[in-house]
Structure 1
Amino acid sequence: MHDPADPWTLRESHTFDRHAIHEIQRAATTGVYDIRGFGAKRRLPHFDDLLFLGASMSRYPLEGYREKCATDVVLGDRFASRPLHLDIPVTIAGMSFGALSAQAKEALGRGASAAGTCTTTGDGGMTDEERGHSKWLVYQYLPSRYGMNPDHLRAADAIEVVLGQGAKPGGGGILMGQKISDRIAAMRTLPAGIDQRSACRHPDWTGPDDLAIKIEELREITGWEKPIHIKIGASRTYYDVKLAVKAGADVVVLDGMQGGTAATQEVFIEHVGIPILAAIPQAVQALQEMDMHRTVQLVVSGGIRTGADVAKAMALGADAVSIGTAALIALGCNDPQRDADYHRIGSAAGFYDDYHAGQDPAGISTQDPALAARLDPELGGRRLANYLRVLTAEAQTIARACGKSHIRNLEPEDLVALTIEAAAMARVPLAGTEWIPGVQSC
């Protein structure tokens, strides 16, 4: 007989743990799959599994208070006459007005501009709040074509053609009816209050040859001024990058499965795509084989949190990174000071992921006017700018410790891995050895 006071008499199944049992029972009760926001919550190989080899005797470090470590990056100078010249290599990912409140979009624009970088529209079109407060704004061109406007293409500083997203490669987004306000409905030419699912593929092309024609069309519309970014979800990365470059991309944006989303099926978030750690070396290999590494810039996203993550992504070969979930947290998402509000809607600070529900106590992922008013765009912008500056300073600190005068000079030789899995994915040696699993024999 089991004694609840004795933990050795009870064992939880690894396969059918409490979460799995709960999901089976929820599905049996409701007959619908679970939808949520955020990104993958399962443990995956990530940047935490890599370490830098700082300078000691064989390398000479830079003095942080006297020697410069530059952070600027140029995105899109392959064909565009007006590429983006950013002060820092950290950009803001596409998050739509619809998924986010107008106040949140304004705050993102304010914060990015203050830190010297760009933000991105997301699905659903361009808002005056975001354009008015963004020094550099990237316009996303998505399969849905919601809010697509040639004048907005011309008003943007770059165009990002979205072919996939890390949290749901091969799938489209979901915007629940309670978040489709009259304003959003008018922008997207949709009925207010009705659930909307975005398309998963573009309606006017079926492959890379058609994409090349579309890219040229976009260049003609914008006078060959704007860089054209191609965004892909990390899955068949090596081939997708080669096809994007062949189609004429100025920039490839690569989103790993740790990237967030406003709403999709949980089974998508947790079981489709690959970690960004595994995807970056494949993308770099594809670019190098085409002699296009650094000519076509690589921007990576999916779980970037710290300056160390930024530095590691760039050491593996990225030109810049993009953040989404971390930017929302900087604005105040999952703030412990609002824990009582989260409890009232059945969640808790640090666990809130129901971005689709429109009940966000922080006023970020909502269209409820009373909730949205809780977010002060000026304060949110200052918080985001502070966070971006800290990310940049942390990355600079690591670069200097490795003897680099520019963050982009970090390289795979500066890294080692803590696990065999991370070593194989990142293609760097296992710490304390010269062994790269899958590349060299033991």
Structure 2
Amino acid sequence: MSKSVYREQNHSYDDSVLHYIGQAAEHGLYEIRGLGAKRRLPNFDDLSFLTASASRYPLEGYREKCETRTVLGTRNAKKPLELDIPITIAGMSFGSLTATAKDALGRAASELGTSTTTGDGGMTQEERRSSKTLVYQCLPSRYGFNPDDLRKADAIELVLGQGAKPGGGGMLLGQKISPRVAKMRTLPEGIDQRSASRHPDWTGSDDLTIKLVELREITDWQVPIYVKVGATRVKHDVKLAVAAGADVIVVDGMQGGTAATQQVFIEHTGIPTLAALRQAVEALEEIDMMGRVQLIISGGIRSGADVAKALAMGADAVSIGQAMLMALGCNSDYYVQDGRRCDAGADYAALGTAPGVCHHCHTGKCPVGVATQTPDLEQRLDPEWGARRVRNYLQTLTMELTTLARACGKSNVHNLEREDLVALTLEAAAMAKVPLAGTEWIPGVSGI
């Protein structure tokens, strides 16, 4: 008589942990990967809108307009950004993405009247040509930083941190350091690039003020200056950035993505976007700068509902990276070449992954031509096809945003407010500081 074997996976040592330990023990190296955190985190799905019924009335979607115009950089800039929608495209570098991908993103952003952002490594001619409104990033690495290009930008974003890797520098592995990337960044071809984790001329908050003044003088005070922080000590960071003179604050939550960094950063640093947004709004309220300094939130924004909830919580706009890549075809099982639909399954399999779960941006072997510098792979992304998909995605987000705003009785998406929201979980109620659904209770704020 055979004995029955008790088989239950140890929660502390499940398959993923055993795989991690095995890889660490065998190779003595940490894992590097792309995209964002994969763990389940409280997010905008944990909030719901209290739309209109008897106590208030909704607006008719086909007869009553809902305004989406968004202005950023009103504090100091002579020429604030005027966008048609409050949805912007986040900084993603040429190097991590192809020049074709950057071109496609710029085309789509221009058609919808919004902005795109350069990312590390400088500005490409394709991106400046296709982007009507372009934000130029100044990062700790200073790779590709060019004052002449800076003057061509419509806004500047001084990056102090990123949600996927706050406190850490960027990575671009050697397989993506092509001759053009190497020339733009003044690097040797084929050698791994690891960016600095802080600006070389910044050792404290006073230096931030000096740096912002330098950037304003280079651009004759014409364009807005953003300061971007990874979501960690959000209240302190926002207040310091405002004190230094920032026009716009960008806060990137831990759901934000990256082309390549250590997995230990992606999964174990920072705070969720939901909590970061609430803290950033509180910081601006405490120093009486709401409305004077605009707030952009990023990190895991995926849908029009996410955008609407972010605005209701106090953001002026959102910035989207990973989802834009998905719209371009990232993690798709096919690509389009010469008008034909081509299967990409075998190329994913060669990477040891599959469509829908690929996070191998760092390898440079992107099966759909989005995150590569290999010419034959880059050709798999048609810029017109990609731009059309991103444009459709942005249009859908905007329609969803205005649909929800009208349902709440708002004629302007910026009139959405925290009072329109309830939380579906205790964690979300505590992080967002909105009532638990069906109650007036906010954990840590209201009485028991």
TM range (shorter): over 0.9
Offset at residue 339 of structure 1 (A): 2.8
Is 1:403 equivalent to 2:409 in the alignment? Answer: yes
Residues 106-145 of structure 1 deviation map (CA, whole Å, 9 limit, x = unaligned): 0110111111100000000000010000000000000000
Q: Secondary structure at the match of 1:231?
A: strand
2:338 match: none
Offset at residue 2 of structure 1 (A): 6.4
Letter of the 1:27 counterpart: A
Identity %: 68
1:120 match: 117
- 434, 440, 445: which is aligned to 1:434? 440
1:288 match: 285
Offset at residue 344 of structure 1 (A): 2.5
Q: Secondary structure at the match of 1:429?
A: coil
2:152 match: 155
- 340, 347, 353: which is aligned to 1:347? 353
Letter of the 1:373 counterpart: Q
- Partners of 1:83 and 1:2 lie apart in 2 by 74
Is 1:75 equivalent to 2:72 in the alignment? Answer: yes
Q: CA 1:2–1:71 in 2, change beyond 3 Å: closer, same or farther?
A: farther
Matches of residues 204-215 of structure 1 in structure 2 within 5 Å?
A: 204-215=201-212
- Partners of 1:159 and 1:3 lie apart in 2 by 66
Q: Secondary structure at the match of 1:299?
A: strand
Offset at residue 281 of structure 1 (A): 1.0
Matches of residues 30-429 of structure 1 in structure 2 within 5 Å?
A: 30-337=27-334, 338-429=344-435
- Partners of 2:290 and 2:253 lie apart in 1 by 19
Residues 278-332 of structure 1 deviation map (CA, whole Å, 9 limit, x = unaligned): 0111101110111111210000001011000000000000000000000000000
Letter of the 2:301 counterpart: I
Letter of the 1:346 counterpart: G
Structure 1, unaligned runs of 5 or more: none
Offset at residue 434 of structure 1 (A): 0.1
1:20 match: 17
Residues 21-52 of structure 1 deviation map (CA, whole Å, 9 limit, x = unaligned): 01100111111100000100000000010000
TM-score if structure 1 supplies the norm length? 0.98
- The total of aligned residue pairs comes to 438
Offset at residue 441 of structure 1 (A): 1.6
Q: Secondary structure at the match of 1:122?
A: coil
Residues 385-410 of structure 1 deviation map (CA, whole Å, 9 limit, x = unaligned): 11001001001000000000111110
Q: Is residue 92–residue 118 contact of structure 1 (8 Å, CA) maintained in 2?
A: yes
Residues 137-191 of structure 1 deviation map (CA, whole Å, 9 limit, x = unaligned): 0000000000111101100000000000000000011110110011111100111
- Partners of 1:201 and 1:133 lie apart in 2 by 31
Residues 218-272 of structure 1 deviation map (CA, whole Å, 9 limit, x = unaligned): 1010010010000000010011000000000000001000010000000100000
- Partners of 1:234 and 1:59 lie apart in 2 by 36
Structure 2, unaligned runs of 5 or more: 335-343
- Partners of 2:177 and 2:350 lie apart in 1 by 23
TM-score if structure 2 supplies the norm length? 0.97
Which has the higher mean CA deviation after the structures are superposed, 267-276 or 328-337?
328-337
Runs of 4+ residues over 6 Å off in structure 1: none
Aligned-residue RMSD, C-alpha: 0.9
Q: Secondary structure at the match of 2:239?
A: helix
Q: Is residue 262–residue 355 contact of structure 1 (8 Å, CA) maintained in 2?
A: yes
- Partners of 1:417 and 1:3 lie apart in 2 by 45
